[in-house]
Amino acid sequence: MNMVTMENDLVARNPAKVPDNAFFSVRDMHGYYGESYIVHGVSFGIEKGKILALLGRNGAGKTSTLRLIARADMPTLMRGEIILDGKPIHPLQGYQAAQAGIQLVQEDRRIIQGLTVEENLMLAQVAPTRGWDLDRIYHHFPRLAERRMQEAVTMSGGEQQMLAIARALARDIKLLLLDEPYEGLAPVIVQEIERILHEIKAMGITTIIVEQNAVAALRLADEAVILDTGEVAFVGSAQEVMDNAELRREYLAI
């Protein structure tokens, strides 16, 4: 496939219309931070219970897109729609988006210093709408059960990542957003996180994952969106990306 053909194919796979059956969607989303125009008219949708890999090179706008969805940053100017389960999210502030069911696990994990594992989890359940209780969390995260009384920041990076995900599940959740969940983790821990994410998927929780390890993310995901300098370059299945070496070289450098 030559470059012109590939570019035409990508345009054909990036229709402006989001699928009608999308449980979650963004439509023509633009985000500005100060004077920087970061997210340029991004549109995509995902069905309930599916995993979507949001991919691209460094600086492509992946994390900014997640933070816009979670309303974690209120940009200077934003145009577009964010819809979750038929309800508009774009007018909301961050705490309201969280109450509506969007939970963002950030790259730095935001573990609270001075609190035990269990105290971190209990604090997440203070909000009026609660998600998983402690018994359910410890069933799916046995490592956390073993370390429940340990100060959370003294755990390994992989264990802290498990806690960050578990803390999101301790709140009322409809959409899980993961920003670089495998960053700095040993392969054996990555496999453990993947196991947990498969279990979450089986429970019908919709997930969007941003991950620099594109192969690992694609192995986990059903769908894929590739961003290039803040714009959507590809929308399709994860398998299509895995099968298209030219596409991976052009946009993911793999």
Crossing angle of helices 245-252 and 3-12, rounded to 10°: 80
Q: What is the mean pLDDT of residues 8-21?
A: 54
pLDDT reported for residue 18: 82
Task: Please check whether residue 228 is in contact with residue 57, taking contact to mean a CB–CB distance below 8 angstroms.
Answer: yes
Mean pLDDT of the chain: 89
Query: pLDDT digit string (tens) for 149-189?
Result: 999 999 999 999 999 999 999 998 999 999 999 998 999 99
Burial per residue of 173-197, b for 16 or more beta-carbon CB atoms within 10 angstroms, e otherwise: bbbbbbbbbbeebeeebbebbbebb
pLDDT of residue 9: 45
Query: Which domains are seen in the chain, by residue range?
Result: 3-101+174-184+210-252 (3.40.50.300)
* Lookup: tokens for 60: 């492509």
**Structure confidence by residue, pLDDT tens digits, 48-102:** 999 999 999 999 999 999 999 999 876 666 789 999 999 999 999 999 999 999 9
